[in-house]
Chain A
């Protein structure tokens, strides 16, 4: 007996943007310049106010990590590794938030499609239903951490329930 929803539609968040550069250039800028465009602040980076840099190593097995100085040492926090690398069309990497338990991971796919005026870049963040639901939720976590944890508990209810919640009062 299994309760896991395998329907990808209930297990992901998807966001797109149109960029006025061709796909090969979009792919290159996205990956090589990641530290230049990756937003700053606690919501996006662990180092926040300190001088930290985001790195994405090209190719399968490459790491996405943040490096920052702490007490005279350089610390690395790895978010995940590249699992598919197909420039200039797509790449996929694992995504583990700092509060995920060992072995817990989600997946981010970035796709680049040519359009008349440039490239459509689509980020799909999926795999929330693989996150263990009985993981201790709130212990020692700040508000941001708790917010992210909620995603794990609710991950397999994504999609349809989201619409359901949106329809409140409508």
Chain B
């Protein structure tokens, strides 16, 4: 079960959300992330530490070069996000189904 509190706190910072956005495309090393977001390396290290403690990212080695440490997203916490998005989508799906029922029932009735 993902810890939503920890996830939310970690994602409260726009720079950390930008890191997540970048890692969603591919794993990257800390310095590449710092360069991409125009942050200093110590600042990026701090952000990555928060993300790692929240369980959102993990460190890994590149397959072709074990000395290079990269960060990648962990999938588990984002299942919580999906639940929320499903909730928004479910809201509108329910509304449109209700609209369809009403509109089609009304169309069948003779006009006054």
Interface residues of A, Cβ cutoff 8 Å to B:
1, 3-5, 13, 15-21, 25-26, 29-30, 33, 36-39, 43-44, 121, 123, 125, 133-134, 137, 147, 150-151, 153-154, 156-158, 160-162, 164-168
Contacts of A36 in B (CB 8 A): 102
Partner of B99, one of A5, A17, A158: A17
- In Å, the complex CA distance between A121 and B97 comes to 11
- Known A-B contacts A5-B21, A133-B17; the reply to A43 vs B91 at CB < 8 A is yes
11 contacts between A and B (CB under 8 A): A15-B93, A21-B107, A29-B106, A33-B106, A121-B99, A133-B14, A150-B84, A161-B78, A161-B81, A164-B75, A165-B78
- In Å, the complex CA distance between A71 and B20 comes to 48
Q: Which residue of chain A lies nearest to B75 when distances are taken between CB atoms in the complex?
A: A168
- In Å, the complex CA distance between A128 and B4 comes to 19
- Interface: B104 (CB within 8 A): yes
